[in-house]
Amino acid sequence: MYSVEDKGEYFVYTFNGINLKIRSVENENNVFVYINYNGYNPLFSMLIGEFKAECDLDSIEFEVRSERGGMYAVVSKDQLIGFIKEVYFFVMENKTVLDKTLNDSYKNIWSF
């Protein structure tokens, strides 16, 4: 499903068969999660598309923060893998819509 690369200060999850990368940065009890789909940050579009409701069904809690004009999610360490899987499944189910709605205003500002 995905491979994990340890970059020292963070991990990058790269998914097979889709241009999706997720960077996770640990910070005490939480993990900051940055999403890159085809060079864009789809988090805002995902929230409009009921991503939070999908996570709620699996009891995965997260909050969204914004920094330097980009959004990222904050999850607990014990829910990280479940959150990453939810991102993957949501993107796979909604690729057509995401591909149409992501534009330069969602260009990813973080390097992976």
* Predicted local distance difference test score (pLDDT) of residue 18: 93
Q: pLDDT, tens digit, for every residue of 66-87? A: 988 789 999 999 999 999 999 9
Does 93 or 68 have the greater pLDDT score? 93
Identify the CATH assignment for 2-106 out of 3.40.50, 1.20.1280, 2.60.120, 3.30.70.
Answer: 3.30.70
Q: pLDDT, tens digit, for every residue of 14-50? A: 999 899 999 999 998 899 999 999 999 999 999 999 9
The CA-based angle 81-90-106, given to 5 degrees, is 100
Distance CA 66, CA 74 (A): 11
